Structure 1
Amino acid sequence: MALVGAVKLFFCLVLWLSCILSCSQGKQNFSEFPYPFMKRASSFSSSSSSSSTSSSGGNNAYDYIIVGGGTAGCPLAATLSQNFSVLLLERGGAPFSNANVSFLGNFHIALADTSPTSASQAFVSTDGVINARARVLGGGTSINAGFYTRASSSFINKVGWDAKLVNESYPWVEKQIVHRPKLAPWQRAVRDSLLDVGVSPFNGFTYDHVYGTKIGGTIFDRFGRRHTAAELLASGNPQKLSVLVHATVQKIVFDTSGKQPKAVGVIFKDEKGEQHQALLVNRPRSEIILSSGAIGTPQMLMLSGIGPKAELQKLNISVVLDNEFVGKGMADNPMNAIFVPTKSPVQQSLIQTVGITKKGVYIEASSGFGQSSDSIHCHHGIVSAEIGQLSTIPPKQRTPEAIQAYIKGKRDLPHEAFKGGFILEKIATPFSIGELRLINTNVDDNPSVTFNYFKHPYDLERCVEGIRMAMTIVQSEHVTNYTQLGKESVEKILNVSVSANVNFIPRHPNDTTSLEQFCKDTVITIWHYHGGCHVGKVVSPEHNVLGVQRLRIVDGSTFNESPGTNPQATVMMMGRYMGVKILRDRLGRNAGI
């Protein structure tokens, strides 16, 4: 509980510092529900039905019920609705009229908002690292940094997907919501420095995941407006698609009278706290599909009675199926960052440039902008949830008192500390894994999640290598020409950062032990967690849940690794891919898709 209090305290500071940015956006005129098939959950009643269900199973019955309107759930729902009735249930609200979601300049505010109706839900892993899970239609695409890049061909081969259908599904997404970024000056400086330190060749602008340095796509357009997976719903069939927001699924309902449990419906709560039941039509190939993400999906399985028997019984959950692997194999890609001060304020940019090495060390760039008033400095990097853990306090020691001291120390930072950019270093395919466990039976509460950052020595070895590479980039001609800061100015920031208890740059770049400690003390997340429902252990290669009928999982909880340098492209593609595959498997040539 103490750590939760620390998180709230920290995020309150973030919101306070972010007030100028939020006010500067002005009033917005976007409709909450731009599509006729989208409604609040309280509109659902026993007489609710899509036009195709009344003749095939009675009122309030659907061919597909999708739990989670996120990165995979939205394209999946749009695709399946071409031929069948679909009910998409999303626990959060709509993103369209939310300025904190819609604009690049407010990226950090959406992540820092801890109100019950915010687009993101903060959670703290048992490792002590502050993290976030989406609570909004569009899922992670509504709160992330927007970078768009495909998975490698080796990833596609490893998961056994049809390469032809994959290469048809990516463009379906890209044509609707993906853009080419206008490269910011800081991104150019880091791009040129990456090439100087040998992260080559330069692959230019590309969606492909290839070794070397590249510029990727973005879901922010040239006006800084975010385009999320929720917009992919526009491709759905409005006669067969129903989308309910503020619909929090409590559990899956099973018929256990046969040889195997059979999913028949779900129970969900609306925004007023009223409960509803939605059912599948009585057909063998109708399905409930979980697309609630790496945290929400294993949590929902366990709340519904599928998981480790002993753990379920401790919480008095009726066991539908004993599966010890649910919630196991959780992983998160650890990230560390180095702040690079500049003489002048820099243009805000999220991820545009990335360096991809063969050892699985990825280097990315982010920059912010500074504003000041009589009493406040604002900087995207310093105050955001993305970089806000650059404390020398190890994660498990971040008590409310430690956070208070950390906040007080930040007030002493020099003005230069609010100008600059970040070099981000991420470890791909971490060998360190953890698990997810239920704390209670309240679906609104976060489960207990452990990632075990750097438990495996190879992850720590790669982090040290990545930090050394980042340090080399900081000292490169392209970056120093850009920052225009003399040695004295940099030393001033470094000296003050010691008293302010902030790690801007490692103190001893040639000392491996020191760098290992830097990695451990400053580890943060880049929100690419995955696992918990692995193929072969929880689901089949077709993503059907093993041991039960009419239940499937389509999201990143099935992944053993996070695809590409950012998973959102592949998770959106996965929603489209699985939708097409399900239709073709069910209808053959008659699918027409």
Structure 2
Amino acid sequence: MGGYDCFESSCLAPTIGVAPQTFASALQFFTAAQCFIDIPTIPEAYLCDFEEFDFIIIGAGGAGCPLANRLSEIRHWKILLIEAGDDPPVESYIPGFSKNFYRTKYDWNYQSIDNRNTSQAIKDGSTYLPRGKMVGGSTGINAMFYIRGVKSDYQKWYDLGNLDWSPSVVEKYFHKLENLQNQELLNNHTISANYGHDGPVIVNKFNNSYGYINDNIFRSWEEIGIPNVLDINTAGGGSGKTTVTASNGRRRSASTIYLPPEVVNRPNLSIIKNALATKIMINRETKTAYGVEVDHKGVKKTFYAKREVILSAGAINSPQLLLLSGVGPKEELEAHNIECIYDSPAVGKNMEDHITINVPVFSNYPGERNQADAHFDVIKYLYNRTGYLAQGAFSDVLTFFPLSEETHPEFEVLVSLYWKNSTTLHDTLSAQYRYKQEVLDSFVVPNEKYALYVFTVIVLHPISTGSVFLKSNNPKDKPLFDSNFYSVPEDLPKIAQGLKKVAEIVNAKYYKSNGAFLGRINWKDCNDYELNSDEYWECIALHTGVTDYHNVGTCRMGPDPSTSVVASDLKVHGINNLRVIDAGVMPGQLSANPMATVYMIAERCSDLIKQYHGELE
């Protein structure tokens, strides 16, 4: 008798055992293959209380990681990098899981206050703001889009008196950090010359799985007057496949880019995790920063800085820590019983953001996706890093367009495709946007019969600004923020025109041929307006608009201490030996997602610091 004669199978078909054993072995292989995803961890330094460093960097995110790398290049400088979070989990390295971090321990999980006016179709009238709480910061959970913005964005910075940030200087530092690897772009001489090739930041495109659908979306944009371009960064607008910080099916976050083993093992670089900076120590007589107080895993520690303290905690956390340390509007500090060391009225103010409104388009194509296809995509990822997990949770089709004769795009559009009767739509929209039930049903119920294209329209340059402020003087209490969308009356009518432009896509051949139609969003205050009218879109924007997580300006740079927080070299006005280096210093919003610019700011200011201390070659 053969060795398989007695093999038991749960299937009805008879078997000698070879087939089920082969399939079971393959299943076991793919189950184990998840362990082949290499996850780098950051070794943590053991530090004594009151230890002294040359530089202390607060926050290991998109600015903190580059700063730690570049400053520790000077071997006689002793650097401390402080991170409130832990190492990223395995899901951080898998692009398709970028929406799975909401409200986990890896998310700061901020929510705006309810101002009783905007976002009233959102639960609690409060928009949700995820921020990465891990080594790598938000670069470990974001969409990975590498978009620089346009020249006029940086010309505005320069014209506001920030003379270290001319468009030509900014371009130089983009080139310094970039390492273009996409072969299609490399083969185009004009595009290739627009990028750097020797930097640490890999610039590539996703391993795309849905080329046919994407090509039809590109053609549809062209039909309504928005050209398809090979490279959005070179063209400055149009529709195209975006460049990203991913390669070989893996996310490349700030930690993997700037903190590889050869950097974290430098003897002059110390890194501590799960360490919340609670106060920057500032001598009130000399107005000089000299150290940082830290809650490290429940133990209070103090570290001293001989040269500088650098605050790179992001556009929400950085103003909070300045306020807790006695730098900010005097009235706000006194209201929380915090001694005012320097009255800086702009701390936490001037918060600019990108506003997001979703436009639902339903279609007969594609149909329902069977579970076998979904599971096969997972196997493809484990096998060769392709399939839907190898690209971000959003499609990589991006569109940038102006409505007027502006020199910069005024709107950005992302596309998310949900197959008919999607198993993920409800939970994704509920977690990300927190729509109230009737609004959520406007997307979910028709999806039982139709495929859904969610056109996420991002307003790039609204005039309205918000603010960040303290809840209390307890550093463990999350700061509060008011997005203050549409406080300037000109914003809403302009946004409505942008939404109407996007809605034109239902008349493109691809959508028309598949019976596409514009979905109506059910909200009580908007239901009396005609679908696709100006009044309808103004109402929808007012009540469903949320943040796109691109907050800037809360520690804005500028020459005037009454309207800005830091000078052009990012030194804090009125305080010696203290800088802020993160998205909060941007004095104007970008025509782009901010990650690339944050990297550029860190690279540029690393050289400014080296120059100031006589170490720039």
Q: Is the shorter-chain TM-score for this pair beyond 0.5, marking a shared fold?
A: yes
Matched, 1:89 2:134: no
**Aligned equivalent of 1:305:** 326
Within 5 Å, give how 1:337-486 maps onto structure 2: 337-342=358-363, 343=365, 344=367, 349-357=394-402, 359=404, 360-369=409-418, 377-379=423-425, 382-383=428-429, 385-386=431-432, 388-389=433-434, 391=435, 403=436, 414-416=447-449, 419-481=451-513, 484=514, 486=515
Cα-to-partner distance string for 1:417-466 (whole Å, 9 max, x where unaligned): 6x432212111121001222111123233212112112222221221111
Cα-to-partner distance string for 1:130-168 (whole Å, 9 max, x where unaligned): 222221221221111111111211222332315454334
**Aligned equivalent of 1:75:** 66
Name the SS of the counterpart of 2:101 in structure 1: helix
Name the SS of the counterpart of 1:177 in structure 2: strand
**Aligned equivalent of 2:48:** 45
Contact 2:570 2:581 in 1 (8 A): yes
Q: 1:290 to 1:412 in 2, by over 3 A?
A: same
Q: 1:220 to 1:507 in 2, by over 3 A?
A: farther
| Identity over aligned pairs, percent | 24
Q: Equivalents in 2 of 1:32, 1:212: separation in Å?
A: 36
Q: Equivalents in 2 of 1:350, 1:86: separation in Å?
A: 39
Contact 2:156 2:588 in 1 (8 A): no
Matched to 1:379, the amino acid is L
Q: Equivalents in 1 of 2:528, 2:455: separation in Å?
A: 13
What is the Cα deviation at residue 102 of structure 1?
2.0
Name the SS of the counterpart of 1:534 in structure 2: coil
**Aligned equivalent of 1:548:** 575
Matched to 1:75, the amino acid is P
Q: Equivalents in 1 of 2:403, 2:78: separation in Å?
A: 45
Matched to 1:361, the amino acid is E
Cα-to-partner distance string for 1:278-333 (whole Å, 9 max, x where unaligned): 1112xxxx111111111011111000011111211121112211122211111221
Contact 2:57 2:81 in 1 (8 A): yes
Matched to 1:251, the amino acid is K
Cα-to-partner distance string for 1:95-131 (whole Å, 9 max, x where unaligned): 2xx13322222222112xx24x223423234342222
Matched, 1:290 2:311: yes
Q: Equivalents in 2 of 1:502, 1:370: separation in Å?
A: 28
What is the Cα deviation at residue 178 of structure 1?
2.6
Q: 1:404 to 1:357 in 2, by over 3 A?
A: closer
Look at both structures and tell me which one has the larger radius of gyration over its CA atoms: 2
Cα-to-partner distance string for 1:219-277 (whole Å, 9 max, x where unaligned): 23342x2110112123747222222221110010112233xx10000011112x11111
Contact 1:363 1:423 in 2 (8 A): no
**Aligned equivalent of 2:25:** none
Q: Equivalents in 1 of 2:447, 2:556: separation in Å?
A: 48
Matched, 1:169 2:157: no
Matched to 2:554, the amino acid is G
Matched to 2:582, the amino acid is D
Moved more, 522-531 or 348-357: 348-357
Name the SS of the counterpart of 2:233 in structure 1: coil
Name the SS of the counterpart of 1:318 in structure 2: coil
Q: 1:216 to 1:506 in 2, by over 3 A?
A: farther
Contact 2:328 2:346 in 1 (8 A): yes
Q: Equivalents in 2 of 1:370, 1:45: separation in Å?
A: 55
What is the Cα deviation at residue 411 of structure 1?
7.3
**Aligned equivalent of 1:275:** 300
Within 5 Å, give how 1:9-408 maps onto structure 2: 27-28=34-35, 33-35=40-42, 38-39=43-44, 43-46=46-49, 60-83=51-74, 84-95=77-88, 98-111=89-102, 114-115=103-104, 117-127=105-115, 128-160=126-158, 161-175=165-179, 176-183=201-208, 184-185=210-211, 186-200=213-227, 202-208=228-234, 210-223=236-249, 225-231=250-256, 232-234=258-260, 236=263, 238-258=266-286, 261-271=287-297, 273-281=298-306, 286-342=307-363, 343=365, 344=367, 349-357=394-402, 359=404, 360-369=409-418, 377-379=423-425, 382-383=428-429, 385-386=431-432, 388-389=433-434, 391=435, 403=436
Q: Equivalents in 1 of 2:566, 2:467: separation in Å?
A: 17
Contact 1:64 1:289 in 2 (8 A): yes
- The TM-score, its normalising length taken from structure 2, stands at 0.75
What is the Cα deviation at residue 358 of structure 1?
5.5
Cα-to-partner distance string for 1:30-60 (whole Å, 9 max, x where unaligned): 666545xx317xx3323xxxxxxxxxxxx82
Contact 2:359 2:454 in 1 (8 A): yes
| Structure 2, unpaired ranges of 5+ | 1-29, 116-125, 159-164, 180-200, 370-387, 559-563
Contact 1:110 1:143 in 2 (8 A): yes
Moved more, 191-200 or 241-250: 191-200
| Structure 1, unpaired ranges of 5+ | 1-22, 47-58, 392-402
**Aligned equivalent of 2:382:** none
Q: Equivalents in 2 of 1:335, 1:294: separation in Å?
A: 18
Contact 2:430 2:440 in 1 (8 A): no
What is the Cα deviation at residue 510 of structure 1?
4.6
CA RMSD of aligned residues (A): 3.2
Report the count of equivalent residues: 511
Contact 2:351 2:554 in 1 (8 A): yes
Contact 1:93 1:119 in 2 (8 A): no
Runs of 4+ aligned structure 1 residues displaced above 6 Å come to 23-26, 404-411, 501-507
Name the SS of the counterpart of 1:297 in structure 2: helix
